[in-house]
Amino acid sequence: MSETSAWVIFIAAIFTNNILLTNFLGMCSFIACSGQIRTSIGLGTAVTFVLTITTAINYAVYYGILISAEEAAELGRAAPLISTDLTHLQFIVFIAVIAAFVQLVEMFVERFSPRLYFALGIFLPLITVNCAIFGASLFMIIREYSFIQSVGFGLGAGIGWAVAIVLLAGLRQKMRYSNIPEPFQGVPIAMVVTGVLAMAFMGFAGMVSIQ
């Protein structure tokens, strides 16, 4: 278990280790939904929310059920409910947790806040297939975060993703007026712009570091 404080991980996940610009996760919806700032803010909010909570749930599932008793003892954690090693099932369990949670949120939002449902509703199904959500859970396991660290990481990763997509949406809105060579129009130029964005974010390196 690393000793870094959750606050440092939170800042690092937004700036120096941005899940999109350094780990390339969530590119599909990033490219597809960055046409307008308003849409990207909606999607960014939904991703941040789902990412934070699913990371926490997956943490509980992994260390409460999937991990083997010996490994838990080795890491100095409480004994899991099932002592058999089930870690090879982590992919499928994580995906199921994310899908179920998104479905649940959709039902709740639809029932209790129709206004929010219309604002976020269309993004929710998209999120199930967003690899940033799934990837964050995997990173959390690989980097052996504690629970507080995982929540900090999940929140930071979500906000970092939202910041990146809103920035790109702003840039793409401006780009409509520029004269782009034909083959580069559309996705290729978005890629190149994202590259420049990633380069700008590299300027934050050294501020904080994790791993």
Partner 1 sequence: MANSQQPVCGPCGTKGLCGGKGLLTLKDGAWASNPLAIQMLGICSALAVTNRLENSLVMGGALIFVCVGSNVLVSLLRKVTPHRIRMIAEVGIIATFVILFDQFLKAYYWEMSKQLGPYVGLIITNCIIMGRAEAFALQNPPILSIVDGIANGLGYAVVLAIIGFFRELLGSGQIFGRTVLSDQWYTSNQIMILAPGAFFALGIVIAIFNAVKGPEPEENK
Minimum separation from the CB atom of position 45 to partner 1 (A):
20
Long-range contacts of 85-94 (CB under 8 A, 24+ apart): 87/62, 90/62, 90/66, 90/138, 90/141, 93/58, 93/61, 93/66, 94/58, 94/61, 94/134, 94/137, 94/138
Minimum separation from the CB atom of position 141 to partner 1 (A):
8
- Residues near partner 1 (CB under 8 A): 21-29, 31-32, 88-92, 95, 99, 126, 129-131, 134-135, 138-139, 142, 181-184, 187-192, 194-196, 198-199, 202
User: In terms of CB distance, is 3 or 182 closer to partner 1?
Assistant: 182
User: In terms of CB distance, is 45 or 90 closer to partner 1?
Assistant: 90
Minimum separation from the CB atom of position 137 to partner 1 (A):
9
Minimum separation from the CB atom of position 25 to partner 1 (A):
6
Compute how many other C-beta atoms are within 10 angstroms of the C-beta atom of residue 92: 9
Cα dihedral 210, 204, 192, 186 sign:
positive
User: In terms of CB distance, is 31 or 122 closer to partner 1?
Assistant: 31
User: In terms of CB distance, is 64 or 135 closer to partner 1?
Assistant: 135
Tokens of 203: 């300027």
| Residue closest to 147 by CA, chosen among 6, 49, 7 | 6
